[in-house]
Chains A and B, each alone.
Chain A
Amino acid sequence: MLTILLRFAGLGLVLVVALLIAVFVGDQGPWYFAWLVGTVMIVLIAVAGAILFDTQADGQDSKGEY
């Protein structure tokens, strides 16, 4: 129970820090903020594409062609 609470508090702290960074950097340096958000988005889209690749490979339509 304590571990869960500590993890919850830790995640809450990360959230607060992220919000503070978003407010400050978004206000003072909009393009720096855009880089932070954009880079995360680019990485996540690439990751999603890879996972989709595996899903396609596991599907019936795959004939070993790429």
Chain B
Amino acid sequence: MDIVSPWVVELSRFQFALTALYHFMFVPLTLGMVFILAAMETVYVVTGKQIYKDMTQFWGKLFGINFAIGVATGLTMEFEFGTNWSMYSRFFGDMFGTPLAIEGLMAFFMESTFVGLMFFGWDRLSKGAHLAVTYLVALGSNLSALWILVANASMNVPHGAHFDPETMRMTFDSFVAVVFNPDAQAKFVHTSVAGFVTASMFVMGISAFYLLRREHRSFAAHSFRIAALFGIMSTIAVITLGDVLGRLDYMHQPTKVAAMEGLWHTSKPPSEPWLLFAIPDDQKQTNYFEIGVPYVLTPLLTHTFDTPIEGIDELQEQAGPRIENGIKAVTALRRYGETRQQSDLDQFKLYEKDMGYGFLATRHAPNQDVSSITAEEVPNVVAKTKLDIFPNVFVTFWAFRIMVFLAMYFFIVFAMASYLSLKRQLEKYRFFLRMVMWSIPLPFIACEFGWITAEVGRQPWTVFEILPTFISSSTHGTGYMIFSLCGFLLLYSIFIAAELYLMFKYARLGPPSSDSATATQSSH
């Protein structure tokens, strides 16, 4: 495997991060909004009250705008794997391509077909049939997310696959193992439910806007109630699943956890604090201005009071022998590619589990060829490679904290919103309504930072402990990368501007028939 220019790798990473973050501005709202629509339509079918049909149609219009633009931003990303990450696609294509293909064939088509029926079927379908269609759109949207997250989980915690030295690719062992990968399960539920939180805040925020302006009051209060209860339950679920994901990372991705917690040295249980604030310095491997809550970190991560959590220094020491073994594995693999001798294959098999660390050492090998490292050079190469095994601590630490702090804020806001709505006192607390309205962007920000935590925390690997990022990209020139990056930046910014313009326009217009009289009007 040849080394690509570091500039091209960084530009490829930046381009993918940018397009993924743009796309992920639309996804959570789609995932959650459609289940809120299903809840509203369920009430309409059960009670027959017109206001719930109006609610489903109005919020459905905003969902439709988000859905259409969100799909457009997602399509380009699938091609990016081939254009910018061709080494990765060749190496890991079987594992990654299969869930992506299923997503396209099954979930996306299901979702798109039923979306049409949902929007245009109000006068053509019975109430029950239309409700079933809405639930199928909800299921389809979330199944789309499921397959993407199954693919993503395979990169974070590879499951159900092995490396084939004959083809130099990862090969499937078990499709069931890939789908039921514990990381995929927890990631899917966490991401899906984070979408529920996003949509709840969106509906609540716009409803608060109407209540503040004393417009569409009944419509807004009804919508607010559904969104508040939907939101509080979803926030509890998202925090619970966040804990599950943190524990899975602790067990399978210790470097990510150490970076998330700014843990340069192995923890001292049980008093190790959970850091509320710190400024991690990646160069000096230390934190400045630490403020923490003692006795929290150990039980939070390990669910015990006496288990130490490995810090970056200890993880680097543990990586030393793995890098040495990895160098032997890659050297044997290269020899086997030339000679096809069984002895070389046996040698490779002996050190196969550390192969990724051998690839990681490539950057520091003479002529970037691991097989040319002499016995005298090994300690030097190992020492340099050890510094590469953990992600950017500052970014991972703060991305994680912003997400967590926002989740705590959402819990308080949704709890208050549910209480005030149930007591019918929303309009008395205008400051709270204003707070809710201005909180609309926050769940989007939390989702973005959650994604950054997961993906920056996975570095320096595209496939954790198997394939390093710096040998995963395509061999483009920097000119091509800058040109395509500018193109994406421009195109996606237009998409975002269009989304914001349409959302503001239709949210300001409000529902067509919305005075309080409709609250009791029956469609029967």
Residues of A within 8 A of B (CB): 28-32, 34-35, 38-39, 41-43, 45-54, 56-58, 62, 64-66
Residue contact A35 to B230, C-beta cutoff 8 Å: no
Residue contact A46 to B39, C-beta cutoff 8 Å: yes
Residues of B within 8 A of A (CB): 35-36, 38-40, 42-43, 46-47, 49, 52, 176, 179-180, 182, 185-186, 188-189, 192-193, 196, 211, 217-218, 220-222, 224-230, 233-234, 237, 241, 244, 418, 421-422, 424-428, 516, 519-520
Chain B residue nearest in CB terms to A58: B520
Chain A residues positioned under 8 Å from B47 (CB to CB): 51, 54
* Nearest chain A CB to B189 CB, angstrom units: 5
* Nearest chain B CB to A51 CB, angstrom units: 6
Chain A residues positioned under 8 Å from B233 (CB to CB): 38, 41-42, 45-46
Residue contact B185 to A64, C-beta cutoff 8 Å: no
Chain B residues positioned under 8 Å from A62 (CB to CB): 424
The prevalent SS among residues of A at the interface is helix
Residue contact B39 to A47, C-beta cutoff 8 Å: yes
Chain B residue nearest in CB terms to A66: B221
Chain A residue nearest in CB terms to B244: A31
A46→B220 CA distance, assembly (Å):
15
7 closest Cβ contacts across the A-B interface?
A66-B221, A31-B185, A49-B229, A46-B230, A46-B39, A42-B233, A50-B43
Chain A residue nearest in CB terms to B221: A66
Residue contact B42 to A66, C-beta cutoff 8 Å: no
Beyond A39-B196, A65-B424: 19 further Cβ-contacts under 8 Å?
A: A28-B176, A29-B185, A31-B182, A31-B188, A38-B193, A39-B35, A39-B192, A42-B35, A42-B230, A45-B230, A45-B233, A47-B42, A49-B229, A49-B421, A50-B43, A50-B52, A54-B49, A56-B424, A65-B428
Chain A residues positioned under 8 Å from B192 (CB to CB): 35, 39
What are 16 A-to-B residue pairs whose CB atoms are below 8 Å? A28-B176, A31-B188, A34-B189, A35-B189, A35-B192, A35-B193, A41-B233, A43-B39, A45-B233, A49-B418, A50-B222, A52-B225, A53-B221, A54-B520, A58-B520, A66-B426
Chain B residues positioned under 8 Å from A29 (CB to CB): 179-180, 185
Residue contact A42 to B43, C-beta cutoff 8 Å: no
Residue contact B244 to A64, C-beta cutoff 8 Å: no
Question: Given the interface contacts A43-B42, A66-B424, does A35 sit within 8 Å of B228 by beta carbon?
Answer: no
B237: contacting residue among A30, A38, A48, CB under 8 A: A38
A47→B131 CA distance, assembly (Å):
14
Question: Given the interface contacts A29-B180, A49-B229, does A43 sit within 8 Å of B217 by beta carbon?
Answer: no
Chain A residues positioned under 8 Å from B42 (CB to CB): 43, 47
* Nearest chain A CB to B463 CB, angstrom units: 22
